[in-house]
A and B are shown apart, each in its own frame.
Chain A
């Protein structure tokens, strides 16, 4: 293992000599930076037909995870992304690799895409901020966007919804039902779980090969004793102090990172985005190649973050993972360990842009002039549910005061009886 310098040394280099970031460095190097072509060559923008009957009435059948033609009932599925690209051994992953759907967003690229309907020649506009297909208002054909335009709207893969609308409604209803007593009355009055929306959220799914060095101080208790007597009795400890260093090599498969700046802002004092973050993880290994028909009937959010924006987030999570991995190796320090320095070396990363399915119930609540959207979210694959329910402070205060009052009366009764 490499040894770490003592505290205070080895801090970031001066501004004239910027620190080398292994991920960003390889992004800048086109040779070490292969892009995996994930474009679904079978599909184009515009009319995409059922392979059996030619109809464009195609949508996802969540219970089966298959696309279904609403005209002839033919069912099929796109290939799993993992089966179509070379994943390799993560322990040998070097440099930065990314799917062609995860490449940098062209800021000049428009979110609005105009397509010419192959059925009648009319022009149909799709706002990729929220949807990936539209129906031609003249001939009723469904037109979808499948080519990887550089505006971040078409990812490498999509993980189709598996939890049905009815199942998600039942889960949200049960979640809120357990939180009725102290819920804000307006929330209860307006609660309509049927109004949930199925949303495909944008994420980067990242494989990593990394090493970490962590250093700090650990203490082992050698003696515990008391001095004095009666009320002056005090406990004292003797301990041995150690400089501790740990090194770990590890790979991480499918670390899932929000790739929308709004969703990535997890500050529970101003938003409830942590709720959506909590329902991770997804079974991302089952994601399939992009086909916009999976999104028919659902909304979507467009990616607005490039790989370079998300590198600090990934490095932060890799360091946390490293700290977690070494925890059991310092069990002998029974008085605890204070880690003081850490170093991360990222040997390789692979980035895939993915749309992941979330059922979302949202409720706007204003309190003391400050508004906040409260989410109750259901993982569209596992059914895991988490939510934020606005609280009725008068009710909660009354309950807390009642509990406190009962405890106080009991304490006073005991003291009076003892006195």
Chain B
């Protein structure tokens, strides 16, 4: 029965992969992606390797109003990128060039 199921799957994949527009072949990746995602999320739920103390939020911090300035330096036209390269606005722990 399992062999028959795999045979059916293989023939279906071959049929779909032969589609001219290419889109269905891409959809066939949903299965492996789902398997990988399930493994990763479950493993992380058990091992919690990503957790740490959120000192940015969980410590008593008193800050004066933020000051600053900005100056327009150029314009970009016709880019296909929907956002800036290297956006680290929310990645507070990734260090950048440290000035003295």
Q: Using CB atoms and an 8 Å cutoff, list the residues of chain A in contact with chain B.
A: 1, 3-5, 7, 10-13, 19-20, 90-91, 179, 182-183, 213, 216-219, 222, 231, 234-256, 266, 268-269, 272, 274-275, 277-281, 316-317, 319-321, 323-327, 329-330, 333, 335-344, 386-391, 396-397, 399-401, 403-409, 411-412, 415-416, 419
Contact = CB atoms under 8 A, between A and B. Distances in A.
A11 B68 contact: no
A182 B46 CA distance: 8
11 contacts: A218-B84, A238-B78, A241-B73, A245-B70, A249-B64, A319-B98, A333-B89, A387-B48, A390-B46, A396-B39, A407-B34
Contacts of B83: 219, 335-336
Contacts of B71: 242-243
A341 B34 contact: no
Contacts of A3: 69
Interface of B: 9, 12-13, 15-16, 19, 21, 24, 27-28, 30-36, 38-39, 42-43, 45-53, 55-64, 66-90, 92-93, 95-100
A403 B54 CA distance: 33
A388 B49 CA distance: 8
Given A182-B42, A330-B89, A338-B85, A254 B64 contact: no
A351 B63 CA distance: 20
Contacts of B28: 408, 411-412
A203 to B, nearest CB: 11
Given A253-B60, A277-B52, A400-B36, A327 B31 contact: no
Contacts of B74: 240-241
Contacts of B21: 231
A329 B45 CA distance: 34
Given A217-B84, A252-B59, A320-B93, 13 more contacts: A1-B69, A3-B69, A13-B100, A219-B76, A219-B83, A242-B70, A245-B68, A254-B59, A272-B47, A337-B88, A341-B96, A404-B34, A411-B28
A260 B30 CA distance: 46
A39 B50 CA distance: 39
A338 B86 CA distance: 6
Contacts of A388: 46-49
- Most chain B CB within a 10 A radius of its CB, from A231, A390, A412, A416: A412
Q: From B28, B36, B60, B74, name the one whose CB has the most chain A CB atoms within 10 angstroms.
A: B60
B98 A281 contact: no
A239 B51 CA distance: 36
A252 B43 contact: no
Given A20-B100, A247-B68, A255-B55, A336 B92 contact: no
Contacts of B46: 179, 182-183, 388-391
B64 A323 contact: no
